[in-house]
Amino acid sequence: MTHDSHIPGRSGRFSGGKLGHGRELDVAAGSIGVSPEEYPPLPDAVMTDPLAGRLDPRAWFNNPTRRFEIEIGCGKGTFMLNVATENPSTNFLGIEWEGAFFAYTADRVRRAGLENVRMLHADAVEFLKWRCPDAIVNTIHLYYSDPWPKAKHHKNRVVQDKFLEQARRVLIPGGELRIVTDHDDYWQWMETFFDRWTDASTAPGGVALAREAFVPPDWVGEGQVVATNYEKKMCGSTKQPHAAVLRKSG
Ligand SMILES: C[S@@+](CC[C@H](N)C(=O)[O-])C[C@H]1O[C@@H](n2cnc3c(N)ncnc32)[C@H](O)[C@@H]1O
């Protein structure tokens, strides 16, 4: 079990089933998966000092001074494999809270021999808030985040004020938050936040993010945006996803 095992249904163990296609997954912590030693439980001291749990995730890599990017919700890991292969001098931290997907992506990364990827089994929003220091992340990737379509579940959506506040804090000056979704209703919801956060008169703290067009990575195929597993399965050639970049001022 990991320290994030309190998340309902997220035991941290791969329980067998379809994901590995019958193969035994290799998910030993400490090489690809971030170990409990590297990521100890949040200390009680956060009750009085909210910064007491901060740690530097760049130290989890062999070359900690490299450019540092985070992907939130890697799913089956195809984007992570591609982006990390195409950018071997950048360190990538994948954060995935579903144990089976965490294990699956970690296994793929290890089999691909990528030494610039670590996987964290955790809630990415909580990680940013409690663990991540200020101004260390070059890029945050958030692709096909769960839309939580029922109104009573909207509070579970990743994109909301508390997330944008932490994303802006952890990005380096000039760093970017890259978002793609195929869900029209979630996109409309995001746009209301984007409008507020990109106008200095309404952005919390008075510091606006700059909105820019989303340019797909040059390694994706014709008509693709980020070529994740979800995108390939759900969008195909019929649905054009929505996409945006929010940049922190440099
Ligand atoms: C719809 S899937 C998309 C997966 C992948 N990005 C893709 O496009 O194929 C959303 C993923 O985000 C993960 N996820 C959702 N909220 C998360 C959070 N707060 N922290 C970490 N992972 C999260 C889910 O477990 C799931 O794997």
pLDDT tens sequence across 85-108: 999 999 999 999 999 999 999 999
Express as a percent the part of the chain with pLDDT over 70. Answer: 88
Ligand 1 within 6 A of 126 CB? no
Ligand 1 within 6 A of 38 CB? no
Cα(163)–Cα(200) distance, integer angstroms: 18
Cα-based angle 211, 216, 221 (whole degrees, multiple of 5): 165
The confidence score (pLDDT) of residue 20 equals 60
Tell me which of 49, 56, 134, 146 is the catalytic residue: 146
What is the 144 CA–ligand 1 centroid distance (Å)? 7
Q: How confident is the model at residue 177 (pLDDT cuts 50, 70, 90)?
A: very high
Catalytic (active site) residue 199? no
Nearest CA to ligand 1 atom 17: 73
* CA proximity to 13, closest of 112, 99, 140, 141: 99
Nearest CA to ligand 1 atom 16: 73
For residue 117, give the H/E element and its range: strand 117-120
pLDDT tens-digit map of 179-209: 999 999 999 999 999 999 999 999 999 999 9
The confidence score (pLDDT) of residue 3 equals 36
Show Cβ contacts of residue 155 under 8 Å, excluding neighbours closer than 6 positions.
Answer: none
Ligand 1 within 6 A of 229 CB? yes
Ligand 1 within 6 A of 120 CB? no
The confidence score (pLDDT) of residue 4 equals 36
Q: Give the N- to C-terminal CA distance of the chain in Å, as an integer.
A: 40
Cα(95)–Cα(25) distance, integer angstroms: 18
Express as a percent the part of the chain with pLDDT over 90. Answer: 83
- Mapped onto helix, strand or coil, the DSSP state of residue 190 is helix
For residue 242, give the H/E element and its range: strand 242-247
Cα(68)–Cα(116) distance, integer angstroms: 10
Ranges of each domain in the chain: 44-247
The confidence score (pLDDT) of residue 128 equals 98
**Could you tell me which residue, 237 or 195, shows the higher pLDDT?**
195
- Please determine, for residue 126, whether its predicted confidence score (pLDDT) is greater than 90: yes
CATH number, domain 44-247, options 3.30.360.10, 3.40.1160.10, 3.40.640.10, 3.40.50.150: 3.40.50.150
* CA proximity to 72, closest of 182, 159, 183: 159
Q: Look at strands 242-247 and 210-212 and give their pairing.
A: antiparallel
For residue 234, give the H/E element and its range: helix 229-234
| Helix, strand counts (H, E) of the chain | 6, 7
- Please determine, for residue 133, whether its predicted confidence score (pLDDT) is greater than 90: yes
Query: And the tokens for 70?
Result: 């985070």
- Mapped onto helix, strand or coil, the DSSP state of residue 103 is helix
Nearest ligand 1 atom, CA 180:
8
What is the 230 CA–ligand 1 centroid distance (Å)? 10
Nearest CA to ligand 1 atom 23: 73
Nearest ligand 1 atom, CA 230:
9
Cα(106)–Cα(94) distance, integer angstroms: 9
Which long-range CB contacts under 8 A does 152-159 form with residues at least 24 apart? 154/189, 157/186, 157/189, 158/72, 158/73, 158/124, 158/125, 159/186, 159/189, 159/190, 159/193
Mean pLDDT of the chain: 90
